[in-house]
Amino acid sequence: MTTDQSDFGRYVRRQANRGNLVVQPRMGFAEPAAMRAGLLATRHADATTAGTITLDAHTRVGRLDLAEQALREGIPLNGYPLVTHPVDVTRWVASVSDQDFPIQVRHGTALPLGVFEVLRAIPLGATEGGPVSYCLPYGRTPLRESITSWAKCCDGLAELRSQQMEPHLETFGGCMLGQLCPPGQLVAIAILEGLFFVQHGLRSISLSYAQQTNLEQDCEAVAALRRLCRELLPAVDWHVVIYAYMGVYPRTAAGGARVLEQAVALAVYTGAERLIVKTTVEAQRIPSVQENISALEQAAAFAEVLPPSGVPLESDSQTYAEAAAIVRAVLDLDDDLGIALRIAFGKGLLDLPFSLHPDNNGATRSRIDRDGWLRWEDTGSLPLRGSVWRVKPRPRSAARLLEELTYVQRKFDYESEIRHNSRGDRV
């Protein structure tokens, strides 16, 4: 392999320089032939694409015995069991990749040493995750163990440069919990995980941000993320990847399409280089290959005709101030970012609302305000002092949480119904 064929970051940057938004599905199938067919369909879509191999839930939590049993007995899996399939088989699946179509492995694993060993053996140089973002939201793995595992994984992935590859790692930090985490902390965790990757030898990284509940606030957040990247990662090849909304999705096809359109708008308005799409059937089931391809092509087509943004892109914003304050406070704790992250969660300088993980203090709370902006209701021990814009606390209840979790679903389904009625259509 040549460096150019194996450099995910270089491919994305090259396409961005041409004015192309790279769109990518979240696609994973258990059978190698089906996975390869999905990659080929993605490659041949009418869009500028990158391929995805998404792993199954058993592999994510280290239950390789269950993944092996499922393959043996024909039990359906919700992704590709990378560690269970022989390396030669996965090498054949990924052989559709070249300099014009890189592949990224997406896994969701807090302790990913086994996954990274397979990536190095194939070799596949692009993946994602992080010691915080793939630990606290998804289970009870101690943060200390996740940080140790991720440090070893990053060190090992960096060694792929000896095989004429430039490995690429994407932080999932801007997608914590998928929703209801105010953007200032999302941006801060993305930056901190990116710095962790660089400290462990990576030179090509991407930083994520998940679409939230208000386009204007999201634009502010991505502008803040890009400013912090320029300030703190000046010698690193980095780009920004936007995720279409990761919470409770609209039930209607029209509502789902509108959410994707806003995700595209967020990417285009903020200069993000890559977008992870979702389909209009996310609320019902796992999408088919064709449904994924349709979403990719619709996103690409909308990006081409999108009118100029009327949304201000102020990087010197409340979101930037919050994110910068959190990042500075954590960096001051220790030169070793792994140690700093662990101390930060212990002190509550990082604290995720609604996360039940034992290493999370759980003292913070957030709320969606009347304009759809995510605001802090209680900042706990976050290092934000008096500068943060809080909303007045409301009584906490399961009904209130459910109302906020379904905010995007209700908003976009309602708006699609109104548009249908205004055209005289039957709903």
Q: What are the backbone angles phi and psi of residue 373, rounded to the nearest 5°?
A: -85, 140
Q: Is the pTM of this model over 0.85?
A: yes
| pLDDT tens readout for residues 134-182 | 999 878 999 999 999 999 999 999 999 998 899 999 999 999 876 789 9
Domains (range + CATH), the chain: 4-305 (3.20.20.240)
Write the CB contacts of 352 (distance below 8 Å, at least 6 apart in sequence). Answer: 136, 137, 176, 177, 181, 185, 360, 364
CA distance 358 to 206: 28
Angstrom CA distances, 339 to 73, 151, 353, 356, stand at: 43, 11, 22, 21
CA distance 129 to 246: 15
Q: Concatenated DSSP letters for 196-253?
A: HHHHTT--EEEEEEE--S-HHHHHHHHHHHHHHHHHH-TTSEEEEEEE---SSPPSSH
SS3 content of the chain, % helix, strand, coil (to 5): 45, 10, 40
* Terminal-to-terminal C-alpha distance of the chain: 54
Output DSSP code: residue 6. Answer: G
Q: Is 21 helix (H, G, I), strand (E, B) or coil?
A: coil
Beta carbons of 105 and 127 less than 8 angstroms apart: yes
**Percent of the chain whose predicted confidence (pLDDT) is above 70:** 93
Quick one: average pLDDT of 40-69? 96
CA distance 181 to 198: 25
Q: Are strands 126-129 and 365-368 parallel, antiparallel or unpaired?
A: unpaired
CA distance 55 to 57: 7
CA distance 388 to 271: 26
| pLDDT tens readout for residues 274-309 | 999 998 888 778 889 999 999 999 999 999 998 777
| pLDDT tens readout for residues 313-352 | 776 899 999 999 999 999 999 999 999 999 999 999 999 9
